[in-house]
Structure 1
Amino acid sequence: RLHSTGMGIWAKSGGINSKFGLTSTELLEAINMLEKEQLLHKFTMIHFHIGSQISDISPLKRAIREAGNIYAELRKKGAENLQCVNIGGGLAVEYTQHEGANNRNYTLSEFSGDVVFSLREIAKNKNEPEPDIFIESGRFIAANHAVLVAPVLELFSQEYDEKALRLKEHNPPLIEELFDLYNSVVEKNAIEYLHDSLDHMESLLTLFDLGYIDLQDRSNTEVLVHLIIKKVIKLLKHKNFNEILQIQEQVQERYLLNCSFFQSLPDYWGLAQNFPVMPLDRLNRRPNRSASLWDITCDSDGEIAFNAQKPIFLHDVDVTKEEYFLGFFLVGAYQEVLGMRHNLFTHPTEFSVSFNDDSKGHELTNLIEAQTILDVLDDLDYDTKDIERRLKQHIEDNESLDSEGKKDMLGRLYVMLSENGYLRTITTKGE
């Protein structure tokens, strides 16, 4: 148990008050016990751990020096077969996808160089042999092996198009002004008109609360403001990206994803761990919609909210006509085993992608289907046989259905229970 500690969420893994390891006094007692039982020659390795995802190299360097001196001192105490130092985990994964917001301040080369140099110098200065070095960086090794792929089911603003606009013969003056802003906005005045429309919306919502405008007026307000936002983004998409950055919080889009963050990204929910996310197609087009992401669970925490310091930008797509998939990267460490059946969502369907040696093709292997609804209920100790019996009895007791109708409903029910809880959609390709 080293005195040195790491940094960040898992810093408590190290230090004199850590849950793990032996103190100096306990180490000496252990050496005496081994010697007394004539087992000291079996003592070949020391191990320490100061935390996962160590962002700063300095605490690690201190820990390596401390462990190196403990190694040398134990050898001088008679542990002549001690020849290995296991430095545990801690090698950080670079999760960030934003410039200037790195998760670690060192490279892999610097990390390995500092470890080897420090232990070698201590061994040399204390006239002991250089130890063999072991490392257990599970996160660093495993994170890259998995990607979560989730389709976008809906964009929040898609319902706001001109078809939804129901202007009256006589509209409140501010709505008339919004309509005029929408029709007259051009690249030169785009930012100004956007700000005007947002101000008008606040005023109109206040008028609705006070009872001066009706629900149709409120709906027209929302539709017009969303239409103006879309038009402004379209006008500015070829301009300097900084102009969109200035209005990103005001024009953010909500993307509904067919996944569960609790199940597939538990470290995001539990530890605020950000994972790189990007669209898997349209990579030749600049995304211009600042985005927040919603999963399909009935929990308000199932959201990756928009963050102006770490913004996500996605494309403006019509998912009723074309598919749009997002990829969440570096999810191969801990996410699968920590994933919970919150809201009764099971793990998504999994498979391995094997690339051919010529790099010209690939194949999908090791397909593992997501659990069915009945499987999940069974795992949570529900009596699925009793559930099936009761549902079947309810259908049989339904006097509004004839025998064919009951048979059809029962068949549909069993199909539903034999599938997983994620939504199934059919996308119609556009012209």
Structure 2
Amino acid sequence: EAITLLREANLLDYLSMIHFHIGSQMSDIAPLKKALREAGNIYAELKKMGANKLNSINIGGGLAVVYDQHTLSNSRNYSIDEFSSSVVFLLGEIMNAKNVSHPDIFTESGRFIVASHAVLITPVLELSTQDFQEKLLNFKVINPPLIQELIELNKLLNNTNCIEYLHDALDHLESILTLFDLGYIDLQDRSNAEILVHNIIKRALYLKSSNPTDELEQLQVKLQERYLINASIFQSLPDYWGLNQHFPVMPLHHLDTTPLRAASLWDITCDSDGEIGFNPEKPLYLHDVNLDEEDYFLGFFNVGAYQETLGMNHNLFTHPSEYTIIIDENDYEIINAVESKSILDILDSIGYDAQEVSKKLKDTLSNSSFITAQEKSDTLAKLELFLHQNGYLRTTN
């Protein structure tokens, strides 16, 4: 019918390409081969029906990107060589069988081309266990017997006794929590117990890292570390939230040290969905770091396809600042800095009168009778600065 319509309209000579697309992120080569056979035969039949100017087949996109960083997972069951040779061989075979000249072949695998061009880099702001540091222990002159035993277990822990002492520590903690609920020990004793037991667990994990037991691995999952990152999953990784698309994640520090902490990642939005939870089947392990003494950055890779255009200004977080990195064999150069939108810009983009908001804030502050003139001046200066900055936390001056 299409050939008839084109011929009647004197447009048949303008038909130069047929196009199909069977889906994005094809993990299996078999459906593509089936589609190629169908499209190849359609192409050949159209040529025989008089479409003499037809000379191209566009096979669409769909070439899969390997997002999974775990060796036991395989999100693509074919190589690039197999993909290419299958396309060329199958179409060539059909054309030879039907005595039709071979077409030019086009493909539009945009995701495969652009996914790797962008990396999200974000600092870790907090660890959930930073309240369990030994420096925060505050013992009494006379401690309850169970606390004193935990002190000894922590002091004497070594590679030989760590499993036995770990069992004792967990048993003591359960008893202490029961005593606290019954009112027999106070909050300081409970705090000391939790810090000591957490430290014993962590040391046992490191002592047995080369030969972990099932029990220790289960403890890792149960006592996973929560890493608070200066980013918004809704803005920078929307496909994780919307499609459960996992992106490769790795630390940018301590690359010569094996990470051992089972990690879940939490962003700085106020939404409980802004979390990448720990998945025992696809585990993420990160380092145990002291953020008071060092920076710790994470990289999220293969985020160059769709994430920026799908990103949401959820909780008023717009895109992070962006930079282009030019790398050669000897050096690198940072160019094309694109700063993140300011808070006023975001308010304006979602329908508020940003200038009116700014004016009302300043007028309310100026008319306040609760602070001095100097405090008003200082606060106004800070307010002006903050309104023209983005919503992300600043980790440097």
Contact 2:324 2:335 in 1 (8 A): yes
> Does structure 1 residue 340 correspond to structure 2 residue 306?
no
TM-score by length of 1: 0.86
| Structure 2: unaligned runs, 5 residues or longer | none
Equivalent residue number for residue 136 of structure 2: 164
1:355–1:306 distance in 2 versus 1, CA, 3 Å: same
The equivalent of 1:90 in structure 2 is 62
- Give the TM-score normalised by the residue count of structure 2: 0.93
Output one character per residue of 1:18-63: Cα deviation in whole Å (capped at 9) or x when no partner: xxxxxxxxxxx32221111010111111111111111111111111
Aligned counterparts, 1:47-126, within 5 A = 47-126=19-98
1:180 and 2:152 equivalent? yes
Question: Where does 1:18-417 land on structure 2 (aligned, <5 Å)?
Answer: 29-168=1-140, 171=143, 174-209=146-181, 211-237=183-209, 239-240=210-211, 245=217, 247-356=219-328, 359-417=329-387
Deviates more, 1:219-228 or 1:359-368: 219-228
The letter for the 1-side match of 2:105 is I
Distance 1:203 1:303, change over 3 A: farther
Distance 1:44 1:201, change over 3 A: farther
**Structure 1 residue 169: Cα displacement:** 5.2
Verify the 8 A CA contact 1:263 1:347 in the aligned structure 2: yes
CA contact (8 A) 2:60 2:108 kept: yes
Unpaired runs of 5+ residues, structure 1, are 1-28
Given that residues 205 and 212 in structure 2 are in contact (C-alpha distance below 8 angstroms), is that contact kept between their aligned partners in structure 1? no
CA distance in 1, matches of 2:264, 2:182: 31
Q: What is the identity percentage for the equivalent residue pairs of Structure 1 and Structure 2?
A: 58
Amino acid paired to 1:30: A
How far apart, CA to CA, are the structure 2 residues paired with 1:95 and 1:192? 41
Q: How many Å apart are 1:399 and its aligned residue? A: 1.2
Q: Supply the distance in 2 between the matched residues of 1:242 and 1:212 (Cα, whole angstroms).
A: 35
Aligned residues: 396
Which residue identity lines up with residue 96 of structure 1 in the other structure?
Answer: D
Report the secondary structure of 1:187's partner residue: coil
Could you tell me how far 1:303 is from its partner in structure 2? 1.0
User: In terms of mean alpha carbon deviation, does 201-210 or 135-144 score higher?
Assistant: 201-210
Superposed CA RMSD in Å reads: 2.1
- Superposed displacement of residue 370, structure 1: 0.7
Q: In 2, are the aligned partners of 1:229 and 1:251 still within 8 Å (CA)?
A: no
Q: Does 1:424 align with 2:394?
A: yes
Using CA pairs under 8 Å that are at least 6 residues apart, name the structure with larger relative contact order, 1 or 2. 2
SS for the counterpart of 2:221 is coil
Distance 1:388 1:397 in 2: 14
Residue 25 of structure 1: aligned partner: none
Classify 1:88/1:196 alpha carbon distance in 2 versus 1 (closer, same or farther; 3 Å): farther
Which AA in structure 2 matches 1:104? R
